[in-house]
Chain A
Amino acid sequence: MSPPEVYSLAQTSITSHAFNADRSEVAVSLNTKDVTIFAREGHEWKATETLSEHDKIITSIDWAPNSNRIVTSSQDRNAYVWQLSPDPQTGRMIWKPTLVLLRINRAATHVRWSPNEDKFAVASGARAIAICSFDPEGDWWVSRLLKKPIRSTVLSVDWHPNNVLLAAGSADMKARVLSAYIKDVDKKPSPTVWGEKLPFNTICGEYTSPTGGWVHAVGFSPSGDALAFASHDSCITVVYPGGPAAFTIKLTSLPLLTLTWTTENSLVAAGHDCQPIVFSGSEGGWELTGSLDDPHSNKSSGGSRPGAPAAGRLNSAAFNTFRNADSRGISSGPGSAAAPATESELFTVHQNTITSVRLYAGVPGNVTQVSTSGADGKLVVWDVNQVTPASATGLAGKMAGLRI
């Protein structure tokens, strides 16, 4: 049992983060048009390199563990694949960018390498997902677009372990499972619970968010037989197409933005509530287990809170300040002696929205640690087995029943 490792990388928001294979380096987007690579030096992270080629804010980064290539997507509608190669003049190893022709006319929003690292998927605001594969003859990355039946911006993508199926969450309130089969790259996939014949752009599943929220995050379970998605109506849904069954948990807290499976029966999700929340279940049902964060023990000031019924933002000191000002006419403006700077601190480790949660240690199906990055500029590594029970954190999620 170890406390979470907290690293403050920047004073600005971290939009996206991706570690290399041995976790000695991390590539982050600090809400700018550059990628910054940090290298681990003892207990510190030092910025070592900047990858500049995009014109607009970088929305997503993924680092392929085996081929050691980085792919980035940006609001400038482009994606670049970065590869370490020797500089012709100095012989020093540098990250060399290759432009990918996406053929989209809106921002690229999310990017992920396929498990075999021979393809990647780029989500976009052009109601399309670009599936990119390398063409050795032309010596470039070519893209094919998944378009139908997407009706709005695609916000996230996730690959099935078979390298063919792709899950996509979209602002038209739907999560979909589509085939991204490319003839020259993929072997004919064996049948899965999602279907048997899988030509490009086959729709294998379409699921609506329970009360009409954008689908922010999607994720296949390690086996690929289940799909989880989190939506802006503060719900998380797990779908078993074999059942068929779908379990929805309605949260009492703010919406989740990102999720990752840790085992076949558990996942970690995080978002506007600033803490990674653990869910567990099986084909029989799902429940909110607890939080990786312990809002009661993190801060020494935690004990001084009056009442403290719920974690998260509703209970923050800032909220109380405004409430006191409103209900009792107590103001703690700059003139008054009260309110030191620490009073607006949240009781969670992350001080702002968590933008990304990713596998850190372990293998898919048996993950031991996950990493999160947030709008507070922090990068945190959590032990997934160190769960504070839901009853102790004031979190609650109710099964809203089974939908078939």
Chain B
Amino acid sequence: MLEKRAFEPEFLQKLDSLVLGVTRARTIRAGRRAGGRVLGTGIEPESFRDYAEGDDLRYLDWNALARLDDLTIRTFRAERQLEITILIDASASMGAPREDDKFGLALLLGAALAYVAMSENDPVRLVAFSGAKGATQVVRSGFHRRRETFLEFRPFVASLRCGGEAQMAAAVADLLAERRPKGMVVLISDFLLTETDYETALTRLLAARHELKVLHVMGEREVAGSYPPGAYRIRDAETGEIREITLNAASAAACRTRAATHAERVRAACLRRGISHAQAFGAGNADAIIMREFPRLGVIS
């Protein structure tokens, strides 16, 4: 439901002033062989240096040669576009409790980040992973660069449904198997899975030299434990496991404690790895999260 806001003009206008907090590509020496191939060239001159054997003669400064009779090579600042992948958890836990609309919040934030990223014409795509029949299923949108094409994400976003028991590490492995150039990955999830699984996923992404940002999404009722009191059978949305429970104030407090503990574990795991991390708790706080929490936590600048 909430994801529909992502394509409303009023919401997009609020995002126009934001810039993705991304570390740009490093300068490389143009005209020099690097690992057997030229990595790329820019148009902004950086410096000059003496010609050395093996340098590409196309970068020889012919004016300097004519005037000074000296072989000089021009160097440029190479500019590289950054591929941005917004990886969204679409497992069944993202859909529960239904009232929290965690998945809608995740899609809204993901779309907002994509819009922000497209301000610098970086190629952006959305990727969602879920579980189906015991296997991890990863669906991808196409890359879009310009904001004029932002609305092309709408069909993809509308088609996403959460379900199944997802394994984040397996989804990341599937993503890395594409062998795309290193870029930025924004991971949006409730991280309600085993610590081993999400830590493996984070480690793999970092090992692939991606710049990683994490958005930890939780629902308001989930965090507060504010379920209506009474006797219930609760069922794990992903595993189907059923437990009988009586919900009351004490159980709500226990839930809060457990949610806080879980959030702290995720945050600690990100901090240990130097990963930008933000918490997005409560769908009703979407605007505040985007405008205040994201810049503060370095997701956007």
| A and B found bound together | no
Interface residues of B (CB under 8 A from A): none
